[in-house]
Structure 1
Amino acid sequence: MIERLKTLKKHLFINGEWVEAKQYQPLYSPYSGEQIAEIAFADESEVEMAIQAAEQARPIMAKMPAHQRATILENLVKLMEENADECARLIALEAAKPWTTAKGEVARTIMTYKFAAEEARRIHGETIPMDAAPGGEDRIAFTIRQPLGVVAAITPFNFPMNLVAHKVGPAIAAGNTIVLKPATQTPLTSLYLAELLQKAGLPNGVINVVTGSGSTVGEKLIQDQRVKVITFTGSPAVGIGIRNKAGLKKVTLELGSNAALIVDQGTDLNSIIARAVTGAFAFAGQVCISLQRVYVHEALYESFVEKFVAQTKTLRLGNPLDPETDVSALISPKDVERSLQWIEEAKQAGATIATGGAAEGNILQPTVLLNVDPKAKVSCQEVFAPIVLINKVSSVQEAIEYVNDSRFGLQAGIYTPNITTAIQAAEALEVGGVMINDIPTFRVDHMPYGGVKESGIGREGLKYAVEEMTEMKLVCIKK
């Protein structure tokens, strides 16, 4: 139970067993600073054990029928439903995610595994009309999709259950085995997942959870030839490094963003303000598609700012385990310090603070900045904090130019009553997904999700992730 975590050592999970590591490090609450557990820090030999276990289990998963893989995932769904409060408490404890938001993540995680179970049953190929080409007569051809083998899943702290589900779920659905390296700050949920998957009937060795530093665990996974797929969510710098070292491995990267929203003239502000504030400050802005930049038509600018700031001031700050809390601690004191420095830099360049701008312990107040220089870090880098800028534009076209003037391109949103404007924006915005009449922070778990530029390569979303984790094979028969 959570109350006893600080007295427990959390071991590595390898080949269906809890393996004691040579080294452990304390895990602290981002909110209170109290120690909540001791976590194993794997060395290279322990990572080797995990890869070996996954490789040995590979033939078992490759031969397992689709209905059996689906049943295991369905069993996991039932177990997660039965233990939803425990899952939420672990998320709130290790990530300082507010209770209501943590409950929402658990609900999404359950849905993600439901989709994974469904996708396990419908992995399919297609027939190829061979006689469409001269010399192809009297042949039948079709494609099949086969699992690639060992998947290395490297996951971030901000959605410690659902972003893990987006890697583990499709890997199991496709018949692969997994070595999971969770974020250093949020290992408890991944270790609990391993426990639930074992109860769900997953064979030993199919999932292995190896906690520790990225420089040790990550490097070994990237370089080992038995690992066939690397799926990573995290910073662009680390993701680009993985891509450069991965050779011919399949790589899916979901990296950073500075997601933007355009508000066109004629938009009903009263219907969008609460939604936009949620997009900016949910989980203290520590979301890859958190609303970071807002470009508002000059006809609505003053009114938008007034309403947005008023709504922001209603947010409650506090303990993540309190159901009334809207915003809690950032993941580390260093992130608080960095965020305050970025706010100060924006001020020095001419920005004004409409609200926020200070910290209360490890909680950064939800901060709204106006008239921000596009070159300021809070605009052009990923802020990953409860900071949003609101700038005035004279047209949607000007706003599009600001949105596209970025090294990132994950998702963007536009509110407009004009369908022509909406379609033109959808075509012009250089992002992986455009949300029309919604915030860029919108995501449901079966849609294709991923970005362009430094926001990554490949797509998540169960069907699309299964395609990333399988290999197409052509079978051609001469009659």
Structure 2
Amino acid sequence: MKLQECYGLWMSGQWHKAGKYKDLYNPYSGEVLARIAQADASEGVRAIEAAHEAFAVFGRMSAYQRSEILYRVAGLIDERREELARVTAMEAAKPLKAARGEIARTVETYRFAAEAAKQVTGEQVAMDAAEGGHQHFGFTIRVPIGVVTAITPFNFPFNLVAHKVGPALAAGNTIVLKPAEQTPLSGLLLAGLFQEAGLPAGVLNIVTGEGAELGEVLTTHPLVRKISFTGSYAVGQLIQRQAGLRRTTLELGSNAALIIDENTDIAAVAARCVSGAFAYNGQVCISLQRILVHQSLYEEFKQHFVTAAAKLITGSPLEEATDVTSLISEKAADRIMNWIGEAVAGGAVIETGGLRSARNIIAPTLLTQVPRSAKVWTEEIFGPVAVLLPFDHWEEAIREVNSSRYGLMAGVYTSDIKRAFEAARELEAGGVVVNDIPTFRVDHMPYGGVKDSGKGTEGVAYAVQEMTQLKLISFNV
């Protein structure tokens, strides 16, 4: 799939010129990949109006037809997975082997959406269970809600888009997509793929540009019925205020923690933790950041973790062997190094990493003796940094995990079934993974956080529920 030199805005099934364009750079090499349209608020309105017009037809399309379109687009992505993986590696600086994994998941996500399109159902309601319900027959149906706007992040530019576009189309809605400023190509390439798959014009509209310019119109326009956003807590808070009574799904970040109980096989677990902490440079919403290890295993775990981290290969995202490469931007690298510096100034020890090299690459870093006030402990670092803490008592570890204002995913390793169920019950998170890292995710499972990690649930079938309206039908018979 050859990239164009210039990309406009995709509305009503056609490319449209924008008033402004901006160069898109490869974060690793610095080369210009393409010129990307920068939509203004008026162009955002045009995209919403196009989606609203298309909804009049698409909202009545059969579940079978919607499912077939989604199956076809999954097949087209599958056929071109190597090309699309290279696009991801270039625009997101995602190591090629991780990019291939993302494209494979994207195919699966759209297939899950195709299956979900055929399962949008209601249920019978026992109207006569009430005294006044005699001779009434009731049931519910789920109907599409209309125009959905989706604002997506840079870190999974194909698959996190699929988690919004797939369920929206499965439910019978139309959508306006604003991909991340850093990774617009992945979203823009969907235009041709969905057109080839037979999606009617106007059902999917793609506007690229700055959130500051487009955000308000995508969240406040009267034709918008639902906003789905993945990004920072600060922006999510603003979107919620602007959205008013509109439905919102907000996935706002994490500070994922793992508790490792005594009697755990540390060698195997440490290698798994290195993967969870440093995959895609730690730029993953549920990247493993806080690791709490029982005091009896602490030194052994630290040694295994440092050894495994040292084996990771740094280099170009297009090299087959690369594990760690450039951060998404110089600004991100500056912030991460500042947070490491703050922790060290407060008494933290760098066990490995802590160094920044050319091209905004930060070596995989493990910190110990971190003060609880340090940002690397309290906030989402979104970079290749993990923090290690020993504990003596299981209850103490659970309290430490729950001390965070975030609660997206948490994990525990334990052979004690009582402690496993206690963690499942007591950990304040949208999901608890037993005997694996909190970075674990498959694309059909429910996925959403508590506290400042957001609201609403993704995972394809669950997102479909949130993108439909339950309607009661009652007959007096």
Scaled to the shorter chain, the TM-score interval is over 0.9
* Count of aligned pairs between the two proteins: 476
Give the equivalent residue in structure 1 for 2:436: 438
Q: Does 1:35 align with 2:32?
A: yes
Q: Does 1:133 align with 2:130?
A: yes
Give the equivalent residue in structure 1 for 2:467: 469
Per-residue CA deviation, residues 268-300 of structure 1 (Å, 9 max, x unaligned), is 112212111000000000000000000000000
Q: Which runs of 4+ in 1 moved over 4 A?
A: none
| Alignment partner of 1:308 out of 305, 309, 313 | 305
CA distance in 1, matches of 2:108, 2:231: 23
Give the equivalent residue in structure 1 for 2:182: 185
CA distance in 2, matches of 1:360, 1:420: 46
| Alignment partner of 2:70 out of 68, 73, 81 | 73
CA distance in 1, matches of 2:7, 2:320: 27
Q: Does 1:24 align with 2:21?
A: yes
Give the equivalent residue in structure 2 for 1:250: 247
TM-score, scaled to structure 1:
0.99
| Alignment partner of 1:292 out of 277, 282, 289 | 289
CA distance in 2, matches of 1:206, 1:441: 33
Q: Does 1:196 align with 2:173?
A: no
Give the equivalent residue in structure 2 for 1:416: 414
Shift of 1:37: 1.1
Per-residue CA deviation, residues 350-382 of structure 1 (Å, 9 max, x unaligned), is 110000001112111000001111210001000
Equivalent residue letter for 2:452: E
| Alignment partner of 2:338 out of 338, 341, 351 | 341
* Cα pair 1:264 1:395 within 8 Å, conserved: no
CA distance in 1, matches of 2:428, 2:371: 21
TM-score, scaled to structure 2:
0.99
Q: Percent identity, aligned pairs only? A: 55
Give the equivalent residue in structure 2 for 1:356: 353
| Alignment partner of 2:51 out of 51, 54, 65 | 54
CA distance in 2, matches of 1:298, 1:75: 53
* Cα pair 2:254 2:408 within 8 Å, conserved: yes
Give the equivalent residue in structure 2 for 1:366: 364
CA distance in 2, matches of 1:395, 1:162: 39
Equivalent residue letter for 1:440: P
Give the equivalent residue in structure 2 for 1:217: 214
Q: Does 1:394 align with 2:375?
A: no
Equivalent residue letter for 1:377: K
Equivalent residue letter for 1:261: L
Q: Does 1:427 align with 2:410?
A: no
Equivalent residue letter for 1:465: A
CA distance in 2, matches of 1:257, 1:269: 25
| Alignment partner of 2:404 out of 406, 410, 428 | 406
Shift of 1:395: 1.6
* Cα pair 1:371 1:392 within 8 Å, conserved: no
Secondary structure of 1:283's aligned partner: helix
Aligned-CA RMSD value: 0.8
Give the equivalent residue in structure 1 for 2:257: 260
Unaligned runs of 5+ in 2: none
* Cα pair 1:181 1:218 within 8 Å, conserved: no
* Cα pair 1:160 1:186 within 8 Å, conserved: yes
Per-residue CA deviation, residues 159-194 of structure 1 (Å, 9 max, x unaligned), is 000000000000000000000000000000101111
Secondary structure of 1:290's aligned partner: coil
| Alignment partner of 2:81 out of 58, 81, 84 | 84
